[in-house]
Amino acid sequence: MRVGLVNDLPMAVEVLRRIVTSTAEHKVAWIAMDGSEAVAAARRDLPDLILMDLNMPVMDGVEATRQIMAETPCPILLVTASVDANVSGVYEAMGYGALDAVDIPVIGANGVASTQGGALLARMSAVGRLASDLPRTLRKSRPPAPRSASTQQLVAIGASAGGPAAVATLLAGLPQGFSAAIVLVQHLDAQFVPGFASWLEQQSGIAVRAALQGDRPVPGSVLIAASADHLVFTSADQLGYRAEPRDYAYRPSVDAFFESIAQQWRGSAVGVLLTGMGRDGARGLKLLRDKHHLTIAQDQATSAVYGMPKAAAAIGAATEILPLTAIAPRLAEVCGQPAL
């Protein structure tokens, strides 16, 4: 991949340059010393990936991410001194379309620590796979038949780039006392899930926590996939993690989660596919539609990255395609709790 480097510290730039050029697979496309330079560089020469710092003069990484994703969309990996110390900025940038965040490797007496450099290269490869081409359009399925009411109601949400802000907006739009159980698969490294859960809870006022092995969906609360393994239903009402399929580029995978709902869940379900790069979730959403569950995809106008929802629309997986702000009222209506 051709990689753009954005950091105002020469030492940090050198660390990143060494890591990128340590393998023949990648090369440095350009270097920008602040967000403003990065926006201009992306306009002139769009790379395959941008490694974006958060705290910089002139224009920070959050605003640079917003402008790049609005003008010249490109996979962005946040690489900053401390993700934990910049939680708010990390999730704000992810809301604009950044795909992931990692701490910048430190340089030691013998150069960049191999484990840290290797971890960054692995993350870069994963982000590269997220940017793969969308699937070819397939024939659309027939509209679903009406589904009988059930006291067991599940809202299953999948999201990737731009997902944190989109999920926060959706949850905040639900009526007080929303009774359906919500389970979320967001493409996010497991170490960031606790902070993400706390942030979502603050934004929405709904109880949010990481899903544990053996958990059951809890009405009126949100469980989030929190492992590099796939979160799936292992029985009709119990969640768990599994490594298979190992060849899925997305871990945790929205497809794997949706597929398990189609196979295991016996109640009423709504599948929701939000903003994201790539095509994860489209096939699984189609399976849910084929099982006569309501399926919703976010529309292009309100998606930070119109990849995953576009892939779902292309294969007729979405019963309804809605703007982000219309999804919560629709969920409230479906679950028998019209928004006030």
Residue 218 belongs to domain with CATH number = 3.40.50.180
- pLDDT given at position 133: 39
Partners of 51 in beta bridges: 5, 77
Please list the active-site residues: 160, 187, 280
Q: Do residue 184 and residue 322 come from a single domain?
A: yes
Domain that holds residue 185: 153-334
Residue at 100 is within a domain: yes
Residue at 188 is within a domain: yes
- pLDDT given at position 130: 60
In this structure, the chain runs to a length of 340
Tell which residue, 183, 143, 151, has the closest CA to residue 292: 143
Residue at 276 is within a domain: yes
Residue at 293 is within a domain: yes
Q: Do residue 109 and residue 185 come from a single domain?
A: no
Q: Do residue 19 and residue 166 come from a single domain?
A: no
Alpha-carbon distance of 81 to 16, in angstroms, equals: 12
- pLDDT given at position 313: 96
The helix, strand and coil proportions of the chain, stated in percent and rounded to the nearest 5, come to 35, 20, 40
User: Count of domains in the chain?
Assistant: 2
Q: Do residue 200 and residue 291 come from a single domain?
A: yes
Q: Do residue 119 and residue 225 come from a single domain?
A: no
Q: Is the pTM of this model over 0.85?
A: no
Residue at 141 is within a domain: no
Q: Do residue 219 and residue 123 come from a single domain?
A: no
Out of 130, 162, 177, pick the residue that ends a domain.
130
Helical segments of the chain, H only: 10-20, 35-44, 61-71, 87-96, 114-130, 163-172, 193-204, 254-264, 282-290, 308-314, 324-334
Q: Do residue 232 and residue 322 come from a single domain?
A: yes
Out of 99, 130, 161, pick the residue that ends a domain.
130
Q: Do residue 79 and residue 173 come from a single domain?
A: no
Residue at 138 is within a domain: no
DSSP notation for 176-212:
TT--SEEEEEE---GGGHHHHHHHHHHHH-SEEEE--
Q: Do residue 107 and residue 190 come from a single domain?
A: no
Residue at 49 is within a domain: yes
Out of 74, 96, 130, pick the residue that ends a domain.
130
Residue at 16 is within a domain: yes
Amino acid in the structure at residue 85: A
> Peptide bond preceding 10: is omega within 30 degrees of 0, i.e. cis?
no
* Digitized pLDDT (tens) for each residue of the chain, 340 residues in all: 999 999 999 999 999 999 999 888 899 999 999 999 999 999 999 999 999 999 999 999 999 999 998 888 889 999 988 887 888 888 888 888 888 888 888 765 555 555 567 778 888 887 766 655 333 322 233 333 333 333 479 999 999 989 999 999 999 999 988 989 999 999 988 888 988 998 898 888 899 999 999 999 999 999 999 998 999 999 998 999 999 988 888 889 999 999 999 999 988 999 999 999 889 999 999 999 999 999 999 999 999 889 999 999 999 999 999 999 999 999 999 987 655 4
